[in-house]
């Protein structure tokens, strides 16, 4: 299988389709079980409040999984994702809507690869927060 996005069809500055998702408590619980990360910060509201949050927060890796699904969904082949480098910069609470996106920052015509700036953002009380920012990915295009 190869990428479904052709190198000749993209240019620097292009954005990939944004993917949104509402973060549900039951999904975060399912993620704790699937990943093995049973930190109470992601399951127990009273614990989360004890360490200064209003309620439980999603795992950083849960948010990152939504970003990589967005990338592989766009490029069309999981093998086309060559690298991803993510910084976690804000928390995600339950029932918030996260939006993953990316913008092509660099193209290598010899290797037919693209580098992207990638992010996950959300709106909270009229402010845009970035749970993932200053982050990059590299993909192999067709």
Partner 1 sequence: MPLNTQLIGKTYDEIEFAVERDRVNQFLDAIGDDTPVFRDPEAAKAAGYADQVAPPTFITVIQMMTSSQVVLDKELGLDYSRVVHGVQSYAYERPLVVGDVISATPRLTSIETRRSNEFLTIESEVHDANGELVLTARSTLISRGTGGP
Long-range interactions of 88-91: CB distance < 8 A, separation 24+: 88/60, 88/63, 88/64, 88/131, 88/132, 89/130, 89/131, 89/132, 89/133, 89/134, 90/122, 90/129, 90/130, 90/131, 91/53, 91/57, 91/58, 91/131
How many CB atoms neighbour CB 92 within 10 A?
25
Q: How far is the CB of 103 from partner 1 (least distance, A)?
A: 19
Taking the complex as a whole, the smallest distance from the CB of residue 127 to partner 1 amounts, in Å, to 20
**Which residue, 13 or 36, has its beta carbon nearer to partner 1?**
36
Question: Could you tell me the smallest distance in angstroms from the CB atom of residue 6 to partner 1?
Answer: 17
Which residues of this protein are in contact with partner 1, per CB under 8 A? 1, 21, 27, 30-31, 33-37, 39, 51, 59-62, 64-66, 68-69, 71-73, 77-79, 81-88
Specify whether the CB–CB gap between 18 and 10 falls below 8 A: no
Closer to partner 1 at the Cβ: 52 or 126? 52
Closest CB to partner 1 among 37 and 45?
37
Q: How far is the CB of 96 from partner 1 (least distance, A)?
A: 15
CB nearer partner 1, residue 11 or residue 74: 74
């Amino acid at each position: 299988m190869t990428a479904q996005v052709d190198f000749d069809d993209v240019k620097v500055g292009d954005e990939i389709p944004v993917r949104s998702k509402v973060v549900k408590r039951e999904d975060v619980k399912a993620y704790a079980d699937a990943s093995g990360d049973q930190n109470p910060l992601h399951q127990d509201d009273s614990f989360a409040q004890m360490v200064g949050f209003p309620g439980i927060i999603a795992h950083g890796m849960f948010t990152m999984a939504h970003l990589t699904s967005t990338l592989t969904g766009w490029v069309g082949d999981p093998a086309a994702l060559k690298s991803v480098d993510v910084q976690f910069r804000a928390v995600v609470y339950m029932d918030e809507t996260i939006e993953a996106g990316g913008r092509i920052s660099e193209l290598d015509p010899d290797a037919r690869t693209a580098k992207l700036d990638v992010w996950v953002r959300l709106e909270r009380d009229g402010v845009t927060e970035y749970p993932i920012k200053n982050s990059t990915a590299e993909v192999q295009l067709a």
